[in-house]
Amino acid sequence: MADGSFWNDQEKAQSVLQDVKSLKTWIEPHEEISERLKSATELDVLLADDSEPEMAKELETEIESLGSALDSFELKSLMRGSDDFRDAQLEISAGAGGTEAQDWAQMLMRMYIRWAERKGFTLVMLDESEGEEAGIKGAVLEIRGQYAYGFLRAETGVHRLVRISPFDSNARRHTSFASVFVYPVVNEEINIEIDEEDLRIDVYRASGAGGQHVNKTSSAVRITHIPTNTVVASQAERSQFKNKATAMKMLKNKLYQAEIERRNAEKAALDATKAPVTFGSQARSYVFQPYTMVNDHRTELKIPDVQKVMDGGIDPFIEAYLKQEASSTTAAA
């Protein structure tokens, strides 16, 4: 960066700046924690010779704060995958079950929106398909922030809801399912070749809020990648051109993730001693009645406060998943 010709190549310069920013997110917290730990140790030595209640209280507070900072840094250190630093594309789809399943899909969408807001991440709604009576049939969100994908990839899988349905006049207990898939948002440096001849592009009128313009023009775009039967759609923008660009980006994300999964499957097949990378039939269950409990079936972590989880409190599940993954990787090595 100190080179006089650094800014001659703007594209390369921006890439270097991004690398520097990424490295600083590791170096700066490490240096800050190290300095705070050094100061706390020095204070502890002073208190050993001369007890000062005020200083002792200050040290206790600092130790507690350092513990939280170390926990956060440890969690981040578990996200060292090649794509973990990227933004995330999160796709929610209602399972069979009509209105009840569609309402559950919308509840999950709200849960992830609340989580993203708490993290200070930027959220963009790329596509949303409303249910006939309530809820949504599906939605695609882009969550932008450092390590968004590293956090959210733990959410991929089938999510099960058990509750007394508000849509059942007989107040019976229902079980509903919704699937969640998370993809890394790939940048232009990732070369995913897409042949135009392999695409079927359809335009249609966008649904939902958006005013007269959205309802009267065919601005929404759906793209089907014929060789893989991968379908993406975007109706977030009023411009058909912008929606097409967004849909192409979504398609690129999906094809990139599919290629990663294919390579992982091949690697797992060659290494018979390594457990396959699967999530099972369901990742997590959310029970509202007759008791309240959220149970992650992969880590066996259980949290009884279901309302707190639905308000975006999913960090304990993410942390447990990442720690289990890291432990499995170490054991396999």
* Sequence letter at residue 326: A
Quote the DSSP letter at residue 154: G
pLDDT tens-digit map of 180-192: 999 888 765 556 7
* pLDDT at site 266: 63
For residue 20, tell me if it sits in a domain: yes
pLDDT band at 148 (very low <50, low <70, confident <90, very high): very high
CB-based burial label for 224 (10 Å; 0-12, 13-18, 19+): middle
* pLDDT at site 83: 84
For residue 65, which of 40, 100, 92 has the smallest C-alpha distance?
A: 40
pLDDT at 294 over 50: yes
Say whether 68 sits in a helix, a strand or coil. Answer: helix
pLDDT at 78 over 90: no
pLDDT tens-digit map of 44-74: 888 887 778 888 888 899 999 998 888 888 8
Please indicate, yes or no, whether residues 181 and 288 belong to a single structural domain of this protein. yes
In contact, 33 and 63? CB cutoff 8 Å: no
- Percent of the residues in the chain that have a pLDDT greater than 70, as a whole number: 89
- Percent of the residues in the chain that have a pLDDT greater than 90, as a whole number: 39
If one compares 118 and 281, the residue with the highest pLDDT of the two is 118
CA 166 to chain centre: 29
Please indicate, yes or no, whether residues 178 and 287 belong to a single structural domain of this protein. yes
Host domain of residue 19: 6-77
* pLDDT at site 332: 63
* pLDDT at site 271: 47
Going through the chain in order, the beta strands assigned E by DSSP cover: 88-94, 122-130, 136-144, 157-164, 173-184, 199-204, 220-225, 230-234, 284-287, 293-296, 302-303
**71 vs 26: CA distance, rounded Å:** 14
Asked which of 26, 57, 77 is the last residue of a domain, the reply is 77
* pLDDT at site 188: 55
Structure token digits, residue 5 = 């010709």
**89 vs 126: CA distance, rounded Å:** 9
B/e letters for 297-312, b = 16+ CB within 10 Å, e = fewer, are bbbebebeebeebbeb
Say whether 163 sits in a helix, a strand or coil. Answer: strand
pLDDT tens-digit map of 25-47: 889 989 999 999 999 998 888 88
Please indicate, yes or no, whether residues 162 and 113 belong to a single structural domain of this protein. yes
If one compares 131 and 159, the residue with the highest pLDDT of the two is 159
* pLDDT at site 239: 87
* Sequence letter at residue 289: Q
Average pLDDT over residues 94-99: 84
pLDDT at 267 over 70: no
* pLDDT at site 178: 93
Structure token digits, residue 236 = 């977030």
Please indicate, yes or no, whether residues 120 and 148 belong to a single structural domain of this protein. yes
Please indicate, yes or no, whether residues 96 and 180 belong to a single structural domain of this protein. yes
* pLDDT at site 117: 95
pLDDT tens-digit map of 126-135: 889 988 888 9
pLDDT band at 281 (very low <50, low <70, confident <90, very high): low
For residue 277, tell me if it sits in a domain: no
pLDDT band at 211 (very low <50, low <70, confident <90, very high): very low
Say whether 219 sits in a helix, a strand or coil. Answer: coil
| Number of neighbours of residue 135 by Cβ within 10 angstroms | 23
If one compares 81 and 210, the residue with the highest pLDDT of the two is 81
What does the mean pLDDT of the chain come to?
Answer: 85
* pLDDT at site 214: 46
Please indicate, yes or no, whether residues 66 and 102 belong to a single structural domain of this protein. no
For residue 165, which of 137, 138, 133 has the smallest C-alpha distance?
A: 133
C-alpha radius of gyration, the chain, whole number: 24
For residue 299, which of 322, 329, 332 has the smallest C-alpha distance?
A: 322
Question: How many domains is the chain partitioned into structurally?
Answer: 3
If one compares 285 and 272, the residue with the highest pLDDT of the two is 285
Please indicate, yes or no, whether residues 162 and 40 belong to a single structural domain of this protein. no
For residue 265, tell me if it sits in a domain: yes
For residue 82, tell me if it sits in a domain: no
Asked which of 25, 45, 77 is the last residue of a domain, the reply is 77
pLDDT band at 222 (very low <50, low <70, confident <90, very high): very high
For residue 151, which of 195, 102, 88, 91 has the smallest C-alpha distance?
A: 88
Say whether 121 sits in a helix, a strand or coil. Answer: coil
For residue 97, tell me if it sits in a domain: yes
Say whether 133 sits in a helix, a strand or coil. Answer: coil
Q: Which residue has the tokens 């002073």?
A: 46
If one compares 262 and 333, the residue with the highest pLDDT of the two is 262
Continuous segment of H or E residues that includes residue 241? helix 240-270
pLDDT tens-digit map of 245-255: 899 888 988 88
Asked which of 269, 294, 317 is the last residue of a domain, the reply is 269
Please indicate, yes or no, whether residues 16 and 56 belong to a single structural domain of this protein. yes
